[in-house]
Amino acid sequence: MTVFVTMPSSLLKDFDNGDDFQLCRQGCPTYERLDLPGTNPLGVPAMDKYKARALCKEYNITDYYLDSCIFDLMTTDDMSFRIAAQVALRDHWTQDPIGAKRQLQNCSEPPCVWEVTSMAHIAWPSWVTRLSTLIIVIMNLKSKL
Digit-coded pLDDT (tens) for 45-82: 788 889 999 999 999 888 888 888 998 898 888 898 89
Binned at pLDDT 50, 70 and 90, residue 4 comes out as low
* Residue range of the domain that includes 90: 9-116
Residue 143 within any structural domain of the chain: no
Residue 112 within any structural domain of the chain: yes
Average pLDDT of the segment spanning 3-14: 62
Q: CB within 8 A of 70, min separation 6: which ones?
A: 49, 52, 53, 56, 110
User: If you average pLDDT over every residue of the chain, what do you get?
Assistant: 71
Residue 104 within any structural domain of the chain: yes
Number of domains comprising the chain = 1
Residue 131 within any structural domain of the chain: no
**Cα(44)–Cα(41) distance, rounded to whole angstroms?**
8
Residue 138 within any structural domain of the chain: no
Binned at pLDDT 50, 70 and 90, residue 103 comes out as confident
Binned at pLDDT 50, 70 and 90, residue 24 comes out as low
Q: CB within 8 A of 90, min separation 6: which ones?
A: none
- Regarding predicted confidence, which is higher, 60 or 117? 60
For 109-127, give the DSSP string. SS-----TT-HHHHHS--H
Binned at pLDDT 50, 70 and 90, residue 96 comes out as confident
pLDDT at 52: 92
Binned at pLDDT 50, 70 and 90, residue 123 comes out as very low
Angle of CA points 38, 39, 40, to nearest 5°: 115
**Cα(76)–Cα(64) distance, rounded to whole angstroms?**
18
Residue 36 within any structural domain of the chain: yes
Residue 34 within any structural domain of the chain: yes
Residue 4 within any structural domain of the chain: no
